[in-house]
Amino acid sequence: MFPWHQYLLAVVFILGGVNHFRKPKLYERIMPLYIPSHKSLVMFTGILEMIFGLMLIAEENQLMGAWGIIILLVLFIPVHIFMLQNKKASLKLPKWVLILRLPLQLGLMAWAYLYV
């Protein structure tokens, strides 16, 4: 049996991955322009989020799931920076929310690291 917060992190990533399929245009809009194949990458990262979330609650795959989440979060940092720099990508969020998302990424990485 895992601690409740491990299940919570898994659910956050599973639902986040599902959302890539529910609202793909939203994710495509926030991707930096220098990254190719926005549509494919949005789908691919959504699948990875769901897989890593599920792996986090399977004892034999927990370590790989946690590291997968951490790596994804590192790879998403350019998206957060792009959102700060590009008005269209900002999704009309206040600047302070966009700034707060960067340390939130670090917090999510630390949370996932608990299960390594």
Is the model's pLDDT at 9 over the cut of 90? yes
Domain that holds residue 59: 4-111
pTM to 2 decimals? 0.94
Contacts of 67 (CB under 8 A, 6+ apart): 112, 116
Cα(37)–Cα(104) distance, integer angstroms:
26
Q: Is residue 116 part of a domain?
A: no
Give domain status of residue 71, yes or no.
Answer: yes
In our burial notation (b when 16+ CB lie closer than 10 A, e otherwise), range 46-69 reads bebbbbbbebbbeeeebeebbbbb
Instruction: Say whether pLDDT at 10 is over 90.
Output: yes
Query: Within a 13 Å sphere around the CA of 115, how many CA atoms are in the beta-carbon half?
Result: 32
- pLDDT tens digits for range 22-59: 999 999 999 999 999 999 999 999 999 999 999 999 99
- Asked whether residue 66 is domain-assigned, the answer is yes
Q: Tell me how many domains the chain contains.
A: 1
Q: Sort 92 into a burial class: Cβ within 10 Å, 0-12 / 13-18 / 19+.
A: exposed
The first and second tokens of residue 69, run together, are: 């989440």
In a domain, 9, yes or no: yes
Query: What is the Cα–Cα distance from 103 to 111, expressed in whole angstroms?
Result: 12
**What pLDDT shows up at residue 76?**
96
pLDDT for 64 equals 98
Return the pLDDT at 23: 97
**How does pLDDT run across 52-99, given as a tens digit for each residue?**
999 999 999 999 999 999 999 999 999 999 999 999 999 999 999 999
Which pair of structure tokens corresponds to residue 35?
């990254």
